[in-house]
Homo-oligomer: A and B are copies of this chain.
Amino acid sequence: MATTLEELNRADEGAFVRAVGEIYEESPWVVERAAARRPFAAVADLVDAMAATVAAATKEEKLALVRAHPDLAGKAARAGKLTYASAAEQGALGLDRLSDQEYDRFEKLNGAYKTRFGFPFVICARRQTRDAILGAFERRLSNDADAELKTALSEIDLIARLRIAQHVKGPGMAKTDGRLSTHVLDTHAGKPAAGVKIELYEIGASAKALLKEAVTNADGRTDEPLVSGEPLRVGIYELRFHVGEYFAKRNANLPQPAFLDVVPVRFAIAEPEGHYHIPLLVTPWSYSTYRGS
């Protein structure tokens, strides 16, 4: 599906729809109408034109758009019958291969939601952890119908924005990625702590998942951000800084066992497009951490 903004601007309507028709799940009419708004100077303008098209549609059309979406972690996902885009988005969270127990939980939530609102639960899965989705599911079940339709449409805008960012190359894309980074400062020695092993875990209701391992360089930073180039997933995380090994090599007089060994820093991400810089200032006897910049 990869294409360029320039090609999209030049294409006839049929070619335009073939190129980006899948951006809105099973609803090529959005793209058809947006075609007339060309040319676009920036990719962000294409995003806005499509969102404006949806916003201008009738309530029936909006409901149809929401209903065109598959269940989250539903039968279609299990049976491998999702659109390519949905399959990738749900698959990244493992929603296509849940245990029977987890599947049942989603089935119950999907059923309750559809009974209440008459349309399936839609959420931009690429901006969420699985736990965050379950939390949103339960929270949104208590919305009223109008607020919930609005929420579903705004999630569809987010889905479209990310699909466009991935598939349309060109100038002026809106920001769709976040960044998680850290650095370790040895305030005992007054310099960056080099060689400290860092692990990043997602902390879920179920088992903890190791997302990334890195070791600090001479600047006390990791060579690249812990997460970048994609949205951060809303959820709970834990950084584990292995400072015990670091100080054991430098300080002769530490007790056995040392006061600090693995320092866990647990935090939540609420802004998928945000920058979370979470440093550790540490001595063998103390540490500080904070959301920095």
Contacts and interface: CB of A to CB of B under 8 A. Distances in A.
A291 B234 contact: no
Contacts of A255: 268, 270-271
Most chain B CB within 10 A, of A132, A135, A288, is at A288
A268 B264 contact: no
Identical chains bound together, number: 4
A285 B189 contact: yes
Interface stretch (A87-95, A143-151, A162-170, A180-188): A180-188
Given A185-B290, A185-B292, A220-B293, A190 B259 contact: yes
Given A183-B293, A260-B267, A267-B260, A288 B287 contact: yes
Contacts of A185: 290, 292-293
A56 B192 CA distance: 38
A289 B290 contact: no
B286 A257 contact: no
A256 B236 CA distance: 11
Given A183-B293, A264-B266, A268-B261, A188 B256 contact: no
A28 interface: no
A76 interface: no
A283 interface: yes
Contact of A188 (B183, B238, B283): B283
A192 B259 contact: no
What are the 9 tightest A-B residue pairs by CB atom distance, in nearest-first order?
Answer: A190-B285, A286-B290, A255-B270, A257-B268, A288-B288, A187-B286, A192-B293, A285-B291, A190-B291
Interface of A: 132, 135, 183, 185, 187-192, 219-220, 234-236, 238, 255-264, 266-268, 270-271, 281, 283-293
